[in-house]
């Protein structure tokens, strides 16, 4: 005789919440948030073919400056049309779209079965990743240009962090959308916070690299940079790497609150967020070039010239770097020496960062089209 046991209702609720919020549902080869991970390092798993072919494209109707993310066989990407699109990763078929009511410049962030997206109206939305239905909305007092990211609290609940043009970094509960804390700066927060070892690290238009406790929202330290920071910093160990409007790229020791090294080549700012490996850093610049630096010393290893500003943020995959340019081309460069291995001409500026997931490359462009490439 088989005996059945009734599962308590409270346990069912706990199980439902756990399945909903657990970020572990993502495959290791997915790209579920801006720069691929909470540390914002821009490094993809697997390998990248140099024989990529266009597999599909999808028109959104307006220019795309946001970066795509990929999770669970779906591509999520916003457009200046105000819509977030959910597309089939393999075919480009639209599953659903959601109108945020204003331009989307930020990348989405997928957490479990939810997708988080902010827009220029200052509202952060949590949507059901399966059908686009609204779970909750959280309003800031300024536009949201940078992507949200997530981390666990000491209680195990997941927290969502996002910057706003209301000069603050916001921390909200991923299940309820309720505010947990806010941290005020002296100017706009444009980029995505990097999270590592309980610390959130981000720059702002106040010219400061902020180091904040994720648990309390209190300041742990800061590094004075002296110029606007539009890009997202990447964290590797106890170091953060970011460029700024003062035509300089820096490495900072976030434990000591000091600058380790500076790189300055020509008088052009850095709006690109860096890709950071164990030994190398790859970053674009408005001098129309891609720069590869030693992570240890900041010394230049190579540069690659394009025909337009490089605000796109690179992705490193194995021994290759992938990056777009305002010249309308997507490039694959050899990481050792910067040699061009492949390129594809779209013809309109590529501002966002490409996503590399499951052997495929997805990117949006100024013509309002999402492009997907595969071997």
Structural domains in the chain, sorted by start: 26-374 (2.130.10.10)
Which strands form 258-263's sheet, in the order they lie side by side?
A: 234-236, 239-244, 248-253, 258-263
Question: Average pLDDT in the 161-182 region?
Answer: 97
pTM: 0.92
Residue 6 pLDDT level (bands cut at 50, 70, 90): very low
Q: Quote the percentage of the chain above a pLDDT of 70.
A: 93
Collapsed DSSP state (helix, strand, coil) of residue 308: coil
Burial 89-118 (b: 16+ CB within 10 A, else e): beebeebbbbebebbbbbbbbbbbbbbbbb
Question: Average pLDDT in the 172-199 region?
Answer: 97
* Cα separation, 299 vs 170, whole angstroms: 36
Please write the tens of the pLDDT for every residue from 120-169: 999 999 999 999 999 999 999 999 999 999 999 888 899 999 999 999 99
Phi, psi of 19 (to 5 degrees): -65, -35
Region of residue 229 (left: phi > 0; alpha: psi -120 to 50; beta: else): beta
DSSP state of 353: P
Computed over its alpha carbons, how large is the radius of gyration of the chain? Answer: 20
Which strands form 219-224's sheet, in the order they lie side by side?
A: 194-196, 199-203, 208-213, 219-224
**The pLDDT of residue 115 is above 90:** yes
**The pLDDT of residue 20 is above 50:** no
* Cα separation, 245 vs 156, whole angstroms: 38
Please write the tens of the pLDDT for every residue from 235-245: 999 999 999 99
**The pLDDT of residue 27 is above 80:** no
């Amino acid at each position: 005789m088989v005996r059945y046991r009734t599962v308590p209702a409270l346990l069912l609720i706990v199980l439902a919440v756990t399945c909903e919020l657990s970020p572990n549902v993502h495959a290791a080869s997915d790209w579920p948030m801006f720069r691929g991970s909470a540390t914002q390092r821009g490094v993809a798993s697997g390998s990248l073919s140099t024989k990529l072919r266009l597999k599909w494209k999808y028109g959104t109707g307006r220019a795309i400056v946001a970066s795509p993310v990929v999770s669970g066989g779906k591509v999520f990407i916003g457009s200046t049309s105000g819509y977030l699109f959910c597309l089939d990763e393999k075919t480009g078929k639209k599953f659903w779209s959601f109108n945020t009511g204003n331009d989307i410049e930020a990348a989405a962030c997928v957490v479990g079965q939810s997708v988080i997206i902010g827009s220029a109206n200052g509202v952060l939305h949590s949507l059901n990743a399966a059908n686009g239905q609204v779970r909750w909305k959280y309003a800031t007092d300024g536009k949201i240009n940078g992507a949200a990211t997530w981390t666990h609290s000491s209680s195990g609940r997941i927290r969502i962090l996002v910057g706003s043009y209301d000069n603050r970094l916001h921390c909200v509960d991923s299940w309820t959308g309720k505010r947990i804390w806010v941290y005020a700066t002296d100017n706009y927060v444009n980029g995505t916070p990097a999270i590592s070892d309980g610390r959130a690290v981000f720059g702002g238009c106040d010219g400061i690299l902020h180091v904040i406790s994720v648990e309390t929202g209190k300041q742990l330290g800061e590094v004075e940079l002296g110029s606007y920071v539009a890009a997202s910093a990447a964290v590797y160990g106890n170091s953060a790497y970011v460029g700024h409007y003062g035509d300089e790229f820096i490495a900072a020791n976030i434990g000591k609150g000091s600058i380790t090294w500076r790189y300055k080549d020509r008088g052009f700012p850095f709006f690109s967020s860096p890709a950071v490996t164990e030994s190398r850093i790859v970053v674009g610049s408005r001098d129309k070039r891609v720069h590869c630096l030693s992570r240890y010393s900041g010394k230049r290893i190579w540069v690659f010239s394009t025909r337009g500003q490089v605000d796109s943020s690179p992705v490193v995959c194995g021994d290759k770097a992938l990056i777009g340019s305002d010249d309308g081309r997507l490039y694959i460069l050899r990481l050792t020496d910067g040699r061009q291995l492949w390129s594809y001409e779209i013809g309109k500026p590529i501002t966002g960062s490409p996503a590399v997931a499951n052997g495929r490359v997805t990117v949006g462009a100024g013509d309002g089209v999402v492009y997907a490439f595969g071997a």
